[in-house]
Amino acid sequence: MSEVTLLVLDAEPPPRLGRLTGRARVIHADEASLAKQLPDADVLLVWDFTSHAVRRAWPGDGPRPRWVHTASAGVEHVLCPELVASDTVVTNARGIFDQPIAEYVAALVLAMAKDLPRTWDLQREREWHHRETQRVAGTRACVVGSGPIGRAIERTLKALGVRTALVGRTPRTGIHGPEDLDRLIARADWVVCAAPLTDETRGMFDERRFGVMQPSARFINVGRGALVVEKDLAQALSKRWLAGAALDVFEHEPLPPDSPLWDAPGLLVSPHMSGDTVGWRDDLGAQFVELFERWEAGRPLLNVVDKKRGYVPGR
């Protein structure tokens, strides 16, 4: 077998690929040079998973890599019609972010139920103001997205005593279908969005859906920013249709300084960090190396994306 050429769409810090020394010729590209270098690559590692350069470069002339791996759970930034129609296999970082994101969601639930942001504000103001807070055990949650991240969120919230319903693309044992979504969010105290971004899910949380929720409900999005119509959420919070919300992902990142979301009442804004724990980049690099070794040995790859659906099919 001739030496494999691995092309890396770089980001800082770069991946640790020392285990591939002598087994692959590693070349590097940035957004400007990617299109020119794609025809030379057998494998493309999209380390810069915030970039949309692959979507722009893929339709060009010449051969294309046989395998594309993105160091992220979402794949919408790499998929384009030409890649979807090709024989190229696409894999993602499924499994790396599940529990960290679930823990982050649990932290948000506890912080909002226990009014921790207000406690911090009062401390800085040196003001002693006793309040009563909400009990988490016994509340209801609807988790939208039945992939590994959604299931990890479900398990973690259940450990807190939250009665949790999981909604997926198709109904099956333990998972509700989309036709149950409105009914479930109408009685949920916590609505957590962890769905993939597809044509069917884009903008799924809009004015109508926020209007279905209880005034006491809180909304959390750790999926993709475009799943939410952000102006509708800002309006819903301003009108007190919801008790609060937390967004870790946004349609445009970084969130522009003039975005009305910064000042939306009851909204917690975090900079797309829910899955990023200490050592997460090393975990991503190690996962890719393990996948490369399977690919090199001719064994079936894990985390293969259904390119037409836009995610890795699960149970």
Q: Is 52 a catalytic residue?
A: no
d(CA 271, CA 63): 37
Instruction: Determine the longest span between alpha carbons in the chain, in angstroms.
Output: 71
Catalytic member of 19, 55, 272, 309: 272
d(CA 280, CA 261): 28
Q: Is 127 a catalytic residue?
A: no
Catalytic member of 3, 253, 290, 293: 253
Q: Is 169 a catalytic residue?
A: no
Beta 67-70 vs 89-91: how paired, if at all? parallel
d(CA 228, CA 40): 39
55: exposed, middle or buried (C-beta count within 10 Å: 0-12, 13-18, 19+)?
middle
- Which of 256, 252, 260, 255 has its CA nearest to residue 232? 260
d(CA 315, CA 300): 18
Catalytic member of 69, 140, 209, 224: 224
- Which of 97, 124, 105, 100 has its CA nearest to residue 248? 105
Q: How many CB atoms lie within 10 A of CB 314?
A: 13
d(CA 49, CA 75): 9
Which positions are catalytic? 224, 253, 272
